[in-house]
A = this chain, B = another copy of it.
Amino acid sequence: MIHIGIIGAGRIGKVHLRSITYHVKNAFVKAVADPFMNEETENFIRGMGVEKIYGDYRELLADPDIDAVLVCSSTDTHAAISIEAIRAGKHVFCEKPVDHALDRIQAVADALADHPGCKFQVGFNRRFDHNFAAVRKAYDQGKIGEAHILKITSRDPEPPNPAYIKVSGGMFLDMTIHDFDMACFLTGSDVEEVYVQSAVLVDPAIGEQGDVDTAIITLKMTNGALAVIDNSRRAVYGYDQRAELFGSKGMAATANDTFSTVVVSNGEGVIREKPLYFFLERYMESFAEEMRQFVDACENGTEVPVGIHAGMQAVKIGLAAGKSVEEHRPVKISEMETNG
């Protein structure tokens, strides 16, 4: 039985608390730490049977009964808290991105090198989505042969508040970072080079923040495959999350999930439902599955499914994407090393 502490009781912290309580065997949440706890949140946490609520995460880390912590605090604190937790002898599940700065991610990697027994997992939950996992499985089973072309469609139903963009690091680091990780996951490869063609077509306020809201991103993978991601901050029909992996022996493609399969035929046409609205609807089950695998790694010493290398890669690609926009040219990931 793994005793878990959650640091950060915001939206994603609550999602994990609920998942572990209801859907993960051999684990329970013993404590939650958050400096900004309100009554509603506290009631929710208590209702899940959590024993301890702390204001300061250091108190949580000091509890010798806690085996593993989930770092669900704001992005700028992920790396520092992760390092403290590693040093405190805890296994760590860190929300994505680990950090916006490569040197701080490297510091986490260094801490892990000093604590070889520590299980460290990054929160790229989409790897555990039933659809994307099925594409990877088809690939692993040889149904696609060698990977030639990967296509990822990733469009949000509505743009974030422009004010959020400053904090988030921009579209490539807050939104596309999942797609970068998915490109690595689905092709079983790292990225060698990135080129971005982007635009501000959804909301001029986003452009005023120095960011883009629409992009086509081409990746050259180290295994020779080509990949393309298309992003938009607003698809009026809802959250559009698809992938298609094409290779020498075939293609595996996914469609969007819907609430039901119902199709209405009438004088207007033959009408299916819109995709599930956003990530909490579409990816809820994947949050449980990533927890199950993290708990399994902690309990049975198996390898974590998404380690620090993946966490580093995705941020490097995101930074290279930004550089590609600035300099309007293809950028090699190896150019990012010097930033690190």
Report A227-245 residues with CB < 8 Å from chain B CB: 227-228, 230, 232, 234-237, 240
What is the interface residue range for chain A against chain B? 35 or more
Q: Which residues of B contact A330 (CB under 8 A)?
A: 195, 197, 328-329
A234 to B153, CA, bound (A): 22
A41 at the interface (CB under 8 A from B): no
A135 to B260, CA, bound (A): 9
Closest to A272 in B: B270
A87 at the interface (CB under 8 A from B): no
Q: Which residues of B contact A193 (CB under 8 A)?
A: 197
Taking a contact as CB atoms under 8 Å apart, the answer to whether B197 and A220 are in contact is yes
Nearest Cβ on chain B to A81's Cβ, whole angstroms: 30
Report A116-174 residues with CB < 8 Å from chain B CB: 130-131, 133-135, 138, 143-144, 146, 148-149, 151, 153, 155
Taking a contact as CB atoms under 8 Å apart, the answer to whether B267 and A270 are in contact is no
Q: Which candidate, A54-62, A65-73, A106-114, A246-254, is the interface stretch facing chain B?
A: A246-254
A225 to B198, CA, bound (A): 9
Nearest Cβ on chain B to A20's Cβ, whole angstroms: 12
A251 to B261, CA, bound (A): 13
Closest to A228 in B: B216
Q: Which residues of B contact A235 (CB under 8 A)?
A: 246, 251, 265
Nearest Cβ on chain B to A316's Cβ, whole angstroms: 18
A218 at the interface (CB under 8 A from B): yes
Taking a contact as CB atoms under 8 Å apart, the answer to whether A264 and B236 are in contact is no
A257 at the interface (CB under 8 A from B): yes
Q: Which residues of B contact A256 (CB under 8 A)?
A: 261
